[in-house]
Amino acid sequence: MKSLEELVFKYWGKADQNYQGKQKWHPLVYHSLDVAAVGFEYLNQEKIISNWFCNELNNNYSDWVHWASFW
């Protein structure tokens, strides 16, 4: 049976195929967390977009930002 670490780090989110030397890569799990954090900050900064979605989905601001950042 594979360890959790082997499963989590098996997939990559970014890699530089042109890098000379040891391959640089960014595990998918870390890439996903980075994307969620940037999305969260973006939605908090762009109030017009977030408010539009809140109105369209009949949802409150906090729930919308957290839900959208997750997906």
> pTM above 0.75?
no
Does the pLDDT at position 40 exceed 90?
yes
- Identify the pLDDT of residue 55: 94
**Which CA distances in Å does 40 have to 6, 21, 28, 61, 70?**
28, 35, 18, 12, 8
- Identify the pLDDT of residue 53: 92
Single-letter amino acid code for the residue at 13:
G
Span 20-47, mean pLDDT?
87
Taking the domains of the chain in order of start, what are their residue ranges?
Answer: 27-71
